[in-house]
Amino acid sequence: MAWGRREVAGVLAGTSLAAALAGGLAWTHSPAWLLLLVPVLPAAALLVLFFRNPRRDVPRGPGLIVSPADGTVTDIARVEEPELIEGPAVRIGIFLSIFSVHVNRAPASGRVAWVRHREGAHHDARRGDAARENESNLIAIVCEDEGGPDGLRILVKQIAGAIARRIVCPLSPGDPLERGGLVGMIKYGSRTELYIPTAANPEVLVSAGSKVHGGSTVLAKL
Considering its fold, how many domains does the chain have in total? 2
pLDDT of residue 97: 84
pLDDT of residue 9: 46
Identify whether 139 is part of a domain: yes
Identify whether 123 is part of a domain: yes
Same domain, 32 and 95: no
Residues 196, 153, 216, 133, CA torsion sign? negative
Same domain, 200 and 104: yes
pTM to 2 decimal places? 0.78
Same domain, 44 and 109: no
pLDDT of residue 145: 65
Cβ proximity of 91 and 79 under 8 Å: yes
pLDDT of residue 210: 98
Q: Which of 136, 172, 190, 216 is catalytic?
A: 190
**CA–CA distance, 35 with 123 (Å, rounded to integer):** 35
The domain containing residue 93 runs over which residues? 64-221
Can 190 be counted among the known catalytic residues? yes
Residues with pLDDT less than 70, the chain:
1-52, 125, 128, 145-150, 163-165, 188-189
Listing DSSP states for 79-117 in one string gives: EEETTTT-EEEEEEEEEE-TTS--EEE-SSSEEEEEEEE
**CA–CA distance, 222 with 220 (Å, rounded to integer):** 7
pLDDT of residue 75: 94
pLDDT of residue 46: 53
**CA–CA distance, 203 with 146 (Å, rounded to integer):** 18
What confidence tens digit (pLDDT) does each residue in 19-28 have?
A: 554 555 454 5
What confidence tens digit (pLDDT) does each residue in 158-202 have?
A: 998 776 567 889 999 999 999 999 999 887 668 999 999 999 999
Identify whether 134 is part of a domain: yes
Same domain, 166 and 80: yes
Cβ proximity of 222 and 74 under 8 Å: no
Same domain, 25 and 111: no
